[in-house]
Amino acid sequence: MISSNLLLPLLFHLLFLNSRATLPGTWELLVPNAGIASMHTAVTRFNTVVLLDRTHIGPTKKRLRPGHCLSDPSDPLRKHDCYAHSAVLDPATGELRSLMIVTDTWCSSGQFLPDGTLLQTGGDGDGFKKIRKFTPCEAAAVCDWEELDEVQLAHGILSCFLITTVFTGVVISRV
């Protein structure tokens, strides 16, 4: 009989070190620099990829479309922010389009709804109780984030709550 002291290392060896599966497919670098550091990445039903980073870390290398800068004199980091903190990638062409995210998404969580909409909840600072949605579109069309003002999380969360509680009405309150 094998002692319990030897069983765990033996199982680890058998399961992980000796398993060298030959899986189909390869990795390929599509874009050397997306311009933002993606904290969340999601593939949409249109085969586009949404990249989302937090907003309060300073400038990125991707600018917002002209006329879409955010101005908040009370915010020390984003007094006048013309940088994108979200983007959508078309893997077929490698083209990146800036998206506008308003509130901080640090420690947020996301879930696709049955219709393909990406629901993003919570965050840090001004995003603590926020609910945002991104309704994806074809790569050539224009779609963007929508910050929902008519609902918010009743208890601000940092992605520690199950997203399913949002749909039961437990954490949503009218403002």
Is residue 15 situated within a structural domain? no
Dmax over CA atoms of the chain, in Å, equals: 73
At residue 112, the pLDDT reads 94
Is residue 85 situated within a structural domain? yes
Is residue 8 situated within a structural domain? no
Question: How many domains would you assign to the chain?
Answer: 1
Is residue 44 situated within a structural domain? yes
Is residue 14 situated within a structural domain? no
At residue 58, the pLDDT reads 81
The tally of CA atoms less than 13 A away on the side-chain side of residue 44 is 23
Q: Give me the average pLDDT of each 10-residue run along the chain (175 residues).
A: 58 58 79 90 95 87 90 78 93 94 89 94 87 95 92 63 42 39
Which residues, in sequence order, are CB contacts of 4 under 8 Å at separation 6+?
A: none
159, 122 Cβ separation under 8 angstroms: yes
Is residue 18 situated within a structural domain? no
Measured between alpha carbons, how far is 18 from 103 in angstroms, rounded to an integer? 46
Is residue 143 situated within a structural domain? yes
Q: What is the domain range of residue 138?
A: 31-174
At residue 128, the pLDDT reads 85
Is residue 22 situated within a structural domain? no
Please indicate, yes or no, whether the overall pTM of this predicted structure exceeds 0.95.
no
Cα three-residue angle 175-69-147, rounded to 5 degrees? 25
